[in-house]
Amino acid sequence: MSDSAEAIARDIAAVARISAVPSLLRLICQNTGMGFAAVARVTDGTWTACAVQDDIRFGLLPGGQLDVKTTLCSESRAARRPVVIDNASLDPLYRDHHTPRIYQIQSYISVPIIRPDGTYFGNLCAIDPRPAVVSDPRTVTMFTVFADLIALQLENEDRQEATESALVDARATAELREQFIAVLGHDLRNPLAAVGAAAEVLIRSKPETDVVRIGERLRATTRRMSRLIDDVLDFARGRLGSGMGLHFEPVNDLGAALGDVVAELREANPHRAVTEHIAVDTAVRCDRGRLQQLLSNLLGNALTYGAVDRPVSVRVAVEEDALVLAVSNHGEPIRADDLPRVFEPYWRPRSSVPGGGLGLGLYICAQIVLAHGGELQVASSAEHGTCFTARLPVAGPAALA
């Protein structure tokens, strides 16, 4: 146990926060007839009063210290058992001991305070210049029980302090996350927009030149970076509790909006075949942009992990009262033990190559579908390929209430 002034002050404050201690000390004095009782913090080199009940004007206040070598608490600490004296003048063991003589006391009791983890804190003790019967089992048991209660309360104080410290750290972490979101939302998007504009200028140069090809590559990279930023922003907002920011309204042209997503990814992957069957002939209450994001993530995932010589299929239709959106591809199936994990954040299959993404796309897809009151499922086999299927209520999430 540390003897530093900071550690001593911390322990004095911990005892002071235990509201029952003053009552326990008063009860000790009343039941034993002794005039002074204290909770003491005891180390190899210090004896410090943390709480006192002084009815005999002994003169020691909380924070006051005695030379530990002049006390019997050091002996109790070493043996980890009570030291009890009814009448020092008649006690064969302590009648010539220096402690009763120095402090002019006759009766004395000191019981160790040991925390639940076995560490020693100090002693619960009482003294009086007159003899008192304190060696009877009832009195010793009372002191022992009170010492155990104080030890338990000290343990609870430590746990509460640790919890409060963790909460402070959590708040600091939340603030850092919010700052991180601000950086992503502003400081990264602005230079990314400049790169995208430069790519468009290069693409409009003379056709069939290396400059145009460089511009197209820059534009593809810019789009990919923008999607990564969107994914991180959505994930961070969701974890911070502010949600993904969905706006629900009846959308009459959802089929065309989803068709635009397919066309965009076809353009970005000119060497891949994408088949589509989109038939949405009714208004769907949804967030148009989020469903476009859903299809974009699912289709992008299929193009990334699907076999390059097999087409990727997109099917969107209204079946009864549900919008069904399915994206399927052929290629190496997802392992059976990985299927339950595909919608976890930061999860990526073992076959992923470095730089392929952050592993947030499917997690965000699941959150979008969940926010719409729907369900996103995946099935994967070598025979039938991999298919992600989202089912959302046409009337929106409110229809489920």
Q: State the average pLDDT for the chain.
A: 85
For tokens 């996350």, name the residue.
177
Mean pLDDT of 316-342: 92
Q: Where are the domains of the chain?
A: 5-163, 171-240, 249-400
Predicted confidence (pLDDT) per residue in 290-300, tens digit: 899 899 889 98
Beta-strand relationship, 47-54 and 65-66: antiparallel
d(CA 189, CA 346): 22
CB 204 within 8 A of CB 218: no
Return all residues near 271 (Cβ < 8 A) that are at least 6 apart.
308
Mean pLDDT of 304-311: 92
Weakest-pLDDT range from 68-82, 160-174, 385-399: 160-174
Q: In the numeric block, which tokens belong to residue 92?
A: 């064969």
Per CATH, which fold does 249-400 belong to? Answer: Heat Shock Protein 90 (3.30.565)
Query: Rounded to an integer, what is the distance from CA 187 to the centroid of its chain?
Result: 27
Predicted confidence (pLDDT) per residue in 184-216, tens digit: 665 566 667 767 777 777 777 766 667 777 777
Q: With the CA atoms of 250, 252, 253 and 258 taken in that order, what torsion angle do they form, in degrees rounded to the nearest 10?
A: 40
Q: What contacts 24+ positions apart, CB below 8 Å, involve 342-345?
A: 342/378, 343/376, 343/378, 345/235
How far CA 378 is from CA of 117, 327, 336, 364, 390, in Å, comes to 49, 10, 11, 15, 9
CB 301 within 8 A of CB 361: yes
**Superfamily name and number for 5-163:** GAF domain (3.30.450.40)
| Other beta carbons within 10 Å of 158 | 13
Predicted confidence (pLDDT) per residue in 212-254, tens digit: 777 777 776 676 677 667 766 666 666 555 556 688 999 999 9
d(CA 327, CA 313): 6
What angle is formed at CA 86 by the lines to CA 80 and CA 91, rounded to 5 degrees?
A: 90
Q: Which residue has the higher pLDDT, 210 or 167?
A: 167
pTM of the model: 0.49
Percent of residues, the chain, with pLDDT higher than 70: 83
d(CA 358, CA 136): 71
